[in-house]
C-alpha cells in the first residue's frame, strides 16, 4: 500500500474536479457513477488539457515508484503500462461497498475534493475514510483486525494491488467528494506475446447461456 500527497495547486485540483464532473455527465444520465452506461478513460477524453496531462505524468511517476519500492521490479522503468482513469463523485449518504478490481494489476485513488470535510457520523462512527482489507489472514479472521482505515484528505493518493478488497466509508459532509481512480495493467514480456483470438462460433452451443449484466450499481449504498 502506498499513500502520498500529490503536488498540485488548488487551481489544478479545482480543474480536475471540473473534468471529473464532465466525464461523469458524458457517461451517466444523471452524472452519478452508480448510473454509468459505459466505461471511459479521462486521460483519453481530456488528453489536451494541461492539468490532466500534469496529473497523468505525476501518477505515472508515482506508480512506477510504488512498484519499484514495493516489489523491487527492476524492469518497471522500461515496461509499458496501460492505464485508465475514471471519476467517482459522492454526495451526502453515498459510499462504495467492499470490492476489488478485475482485469488489471493495480488500482489507485486520488482525492481531488473532500467536500466540507470528513465529518464523523454519530451512529456509525464513519468519517469518510478509505478502507483496505488485508486478504492474507483466514476468511474467519476478525474483520476489524485485518482492515486498515486511512484518513482521506484533499490531494491524497492511495495505490494498492487490484486484488486487495477496499471500500470507502459513507460521505457525511456537505458539497461533493470527488475522487479520480486509476486502473493499471503492466505490459510485461509475457503479455506482449499474446495475440487476438478470432471470433469463431462453435456449432455446438452451450447448454446454458448466461445473460450479461452491464449495470454498475453494485458499488454504492445510500444512507439518506
pLDDT in tens, 190-221: 999 999 999 888 777 766 666 655 554 444 44
Give which of 224, 223, 217 is closest to 32, Cα–Cα. 217
pLDDT of residue 146: 63
Give the pLDDT of residue 200: 85
Mean pLDDT per segment of 10 residues, for the chain of length 224 residues?
93 97 85 73 97 98 95 92 94 82 93 77 63 69 68 90 85 87 95 92 71 51 38
Confidence (pLDDT) at 128: 72
Decide if 40 contacts 86 (C-beta within 8 A).
yes
The confidence score (pLDDT) of residue 119 equals 58
Going along the chain from its start, the domains and CATH numbers come out as 2-192+215-222 (2.60.120.620)
Tell me: the pLDDT tens digits for 152-182? Answer: 889 999 999 998 888 887 788 788 889 999 9
Would you state the pLDDT for residue 29? 73
Kindly list the strands in the beta sheet with 165-168, ordered across the sheet, starting from the edge strand earlier in the chain. 147-150, 130-133, 165-168, 94-99, 220-222
Exposed, middle or buried, 71 (CB in 10 Å: 0-12/13-18/19+)?
exposed
As a whole number, the mean pLDDT across the chain is 83
Amino acid at each position: 500500500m502506498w499513500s502520498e500527497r500529490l503536488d498540485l495547486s488548488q487551481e489544478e485540483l479545482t480543474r480536475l474536479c471540473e473534468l471529473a464532473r464532465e466525464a461523469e455527465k458524458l457517461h451517466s444520465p444523471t452524472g452519478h457513477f452508480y448510473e454509468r452506461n459505459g466505461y471511459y478513460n479521462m486521460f483519453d477524453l481530456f488528453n489536451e488539457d494541461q492539468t490532466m496531462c500534469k496529473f497523468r505524468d505525476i501518477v505515472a511517476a508515482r506508480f512506477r515508484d510504488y512498484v519499484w519500492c514495493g516489489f523491487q521490479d527492476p524492469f518497471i522503468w522500461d515496461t509499458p503500462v496501460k492505464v485508465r482513469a475514471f471519476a467517482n463523485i459522492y454526495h451526502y449518504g453515498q459510499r462504495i461497498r467492499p470490492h476489488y478490481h478485475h482485469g488489471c494489476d493495480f488500482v489507485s485513488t486520488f482525492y481531488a475534493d473532500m467536500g466540507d470535510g470528513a465529518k464523523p457520523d454519530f451512529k456509525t462512527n464513519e468519517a469518510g475514510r478509505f478502507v483496505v482489507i488485508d486478504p492474507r489472514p483466514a476468511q474467519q479472521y476478525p474483520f476489524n483486525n485485518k482492515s486498515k482505515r486511512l484518513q482521506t484528505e484533499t490531494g491524497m493518493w492511495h495505490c494498492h494491488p487490484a486484488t486487495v478488497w477496499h471500500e470507502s466509508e459513507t460521505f457525511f459532509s456537505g458539497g461533493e467528494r470527488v475522487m479520480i481512480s486509476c486502473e493499471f495493467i503492466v505490459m510485461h514480456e509475457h503479455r506482449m506475446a499474446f495475440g487476438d483470438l478470432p471470433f469463431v462460433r462453435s456449432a455446438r452451443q452451450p447448454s446454458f447461456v448466461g445473460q450479461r449484466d452491464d449495470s454498475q450499481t453494485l458499488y454504492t449504498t445510500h444512507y439518506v
